[in-house]
Homo-oligomer: A and B are copies of this chain.
Amino acid sequence: MINKIAIVGVGLIGGSLALQCRRKGIAEKIIGVESNVSHAEQAISLHLVDEILSLDEAVETADMIVLTVPMNILVGLLPGILDKVKDQIVMDMGSTKSTLSDAVDNHPHRGRFIATHPMWGTEYSGPSAAVEGAFENKAVILCDTEKSDPDVLAFVKKMYDILNMRILEMNAVDHDLHAAYVSHISHITSFALANTVLEKEREDNAIFEMASAGFESTVRLAKSNPDMWTPILMQNKENVLDVLNEHISQLRKFKSCLEKDNWEYLRELISHANQIRRIIQ
């Protein structure tokens, strides 16, 4: 489809995209940009990318530049990259969108950029976390698409189509609200649950011998990388706070039922939660 793609940040997302680009023939040559020396070496030795270049070299030579670095770094890099592009396509795959949008909305080359968020990831990070066949059959959000040039939008839609992703379009503000509900709050509950149990473990390390699949399921996101997640929660602070307050108030309903022996209402709360079956199979 294109000659050269440059992936800036060859970790879980960037590395998994690199694998899919090669498998699906999206680009003939895959360039990595990676400031972490050991990650750069891994990206080559794992055959994720063909070569490692500096950001400036990559921007100059590639037809498409994909940003998959933590959100704070991403927001810092994007305006400078847009300064240098002519007809290249620039895309991000990050988890928050409003701050990023604000950072480039008035940029003269705004049209060369498209903001995207594939709803796929794992709790692992770095090049060794890259997974074959990632993104397939998942949703991807394209944000503020009217601000991207038509050729940019068309190419990126085609690319995600080749990756078998379900494309949804929405503005950056709606994206960040929804992401708080279906992703960011899940991470906070997992982090907090891990800390709750680790606190107890200091007194009593026998408890983990009992850890079940249910526990593992609710706590696995707690393994997620703080370099990725601190900036996400920072940039989506207002939405995350709203959802977190609602979540704490839902937990307090359970607490109140237990304190007051209100078993009928407890049963109702659980039955209501069962309605999540409509949404996840």
- How many chain A residues touch B (CB < 8 A): the figure is 92
Copies of this chain, complex-wide, total 2
CA distance A266 to B40 in the complex (A): 28
Q: Is the CB of A273 within 8 A of B194?
A: yes
Q: Is the CB of A187 within 8 A of B214?
A: yes
Which residues of A (204-242) have their CB < 8 Å from a CB of B? 204, 206-226, 229-230, 233-234, 237, 240-241
- In the complex, how many angstroms separate the beta carbon of A270 from the nearest chain B beta carbon? 4
Contact partner of A219 (CB less than 8 A), chosen from B193, B212, B272, B276, is B276
Q: Is the CB of A263 within 8 A of B234?
A: yes
A271 within 8 A of B: yes
CA distance A254 to B243 in the complex (A): 12
Q: Is the CB of A222 within 8 A of B183?
A: no
Q: Is the CB of B195 within 8 A of A181?
A: no
* Residues of chain A whose beta carbon lies under 8 Å from any beta carbon of chain B: 119-123, 138-139, 141, 166, 168, 170, 174, 178-179, 181-183, 185-201, 204, 206-226, 229-230, 233-234, 237, 240-241, 243-248, 250-255, 258-259, 261, 263, 266-267, 269-277, 279-280
Instruction: State the main secondary structure of chain A at its contact with B.
Output: helix
Q: Point out which of A123, A230, A245, A263 has the most chain B C-beta atoms below 10 A from its C-beta.
A: A230
Give 18 CB contacts A-B under 8 Å. A120-B212, A170-B206, A179-B210, A182-B197, A186-B219, A188-B254, A189-B218, A190-B273, A192-B250, A195-B272, A196-B246, A211-B279, A222-B273, A223-B274, A223-B276, A226-B271, A244-B251, A247-B251
